[in-house]
Amino acid sequence: MTTASSSRPPLARELAQRIAEHIAAEEQDPSFDAAAEANEPLPENRFLDRELSWLAFNQRVLELAEDGTQPLLERLRYLAIFASNLDEFFMVRVAGLKRRIATGLAVTSASGRSPRQVLEAISERAHELTVRHAAVFSDQVQPGLAAEGITLVRWDDLGPEEQERLHKYFRRRIFPVLTPLAVDPAHPFPYISGLSLNLAVVVMNPATGKEHFARVKVPPLLPRFIAVDASGRPSEPERGAPSLDAGPMSFVPLEDVISEHLDHLFPGMDVLEHHTFRVTRNEDVEVEEDDAENLLQAMEKELLRRRFGPPVRLELAAGITPRTRELLVRELGVADEEVYEVPAPLDLTGLNLIADLDRPSLQYPRFVPTTHRQLAEVESATPTDVFAAIRTRDILLHHPYDSFSTSVQTFLQQAAADPQVLAIKQTLYRTSGDSPVVDALIDAAEAGKQVLALVEIKARFDEQANITWARKLEQAGVHVVYGIVGLKTHCKLSLVVRQEPDGLRRYCHIGTGNYNPKTARLYTDLGLLTADPEVGQDLTRLFNQLSGYAPKSRFHRLLVAPRSVRTGLIERIDREAAAARAGLPSGIKIKVNSMVDEDTMDALYRASQAGVPIDLLVRGICALRPGVPGLSETIRVRSILGRFLEHSRVFAFANGISDAGAEVYIGSADLMHRNLDRRVEALVRISDPDQVAELVELLDESMDDGTSSWRLHEDGSWERHHLGPDGPLKDLQSTLIQRQRRRLGMSR
Burial of 166 (0-12, 13-18, 19+ CB in 10 A): buried
Q: Is 317 helix (H, G, I), strand (E, B) or coil?
A: strand
Other beta carbons within 10 Å of 287: 16
Give the Cα separation of 703 and 238 in Å (integer): 39
Q: How far apart are the first and last CA of the chain?
A: 49
Q: Which residues of 645-681 are buried (b: 16+ CB within 10 A; e: fewer)?
A: bbbbbbbbbbbbbebebbbbbbbbbbbbebbbeebbb
**Cβ contact 519:513 at 8 Å:** yes
| Closest-CA residue to 355 (of 94, 553, 53, 144) | 144
Q: Is 490 a catalytic residue?
A: yes
Catalytic one of 261, 275, 490, 556: 490
Q: Other CB atoms closer than 10 Å to residue 572's CB: what's the count?
A: 22
What is the rounded CA–CA span in Å between residue 252 and residue 249?
Answer: 10
- 10 Å Cβ neighbour count for 238? 15
Q: What secondary structure does DSSP assign to 452-488, as a single string?
A: EEEE-TTSTT-HHHHHHHHHHHHHTT-EEE--STT-E
Pair 648, 591: CB distance under 8 Å: yes
Pairing of strands 588-592, 709-712: unpaired
Contacts 24+ apart (CB under 8 A), 230-239: 232/159, 232/161, 232/162, 232/165, 233/165, 234/165, 234/166, 234/169, 237/353, 237/354, 237/356, 237/357, 239/356
SS3 state at 310: coil
Cβ distance 133 to 87 under 8 Å?
Answer: no
User: Are the C-beta atoms of residues 60 and 716 closer than 8 Å to each other?
Assistant: no
- Look up residue 277 and give its amino acid: F
Nearest to 52 by CA among 684, 507, 519, 717: 717
Q: What burial class does residue 711 get, using C-beta atoms within 10 Å of its C-beta: 0-12 exposed, 13-18 middle, 19+ buried?
A: middle
Which residues carry out catalysis?
Answer: 490
